[in-house]
Amino acid sequence: MVDPGLLEILVCPESKVPVRLADEALLDRLNRSVSDGTLRNRAGDPVREPLEAGLVREGDDRLYPVRDGIPVMLIDEAIDLDRPA
């Protein structure tokens, strides 16, 4: 889980808009795509590990993964949500 105090100050590194925790339904959908081998990050690399959590930027078009409780706020690691996953 992401520390609530940290969550209050985190923003998307690209657009500088706030982020929020992804809901379970979104994580389930994305993790099905991980299992299928069809989910890719912005760099075009396949996402191989299931997502334990994620931060969705305002606008609901991009997710930043959380690994071992640490938000990975790198643009190339983000997952676009505006296309089917």
Distance CA 9, CA 58 (A): 13
Q: Distance (Å, rounded) from C-alpha 27 to C-alpha 57?
A: 14
Position 3 scores a pLDDT of: 86
What is the CA 5 to chain-centroid distance, rounded? 19
For the cut 80, the answer to whether the pLDDT of residue 59 exceeds it is yes
Quick check: helix, strand or coil at residue 31? helix
* Single pTM value for the model: 0.92
83: pLDDT strictly greater than 60: no
pLDDT tens sequence across 9-53: 999 999 999 999 999 999 999 999 999 999 999 999 999 999 999
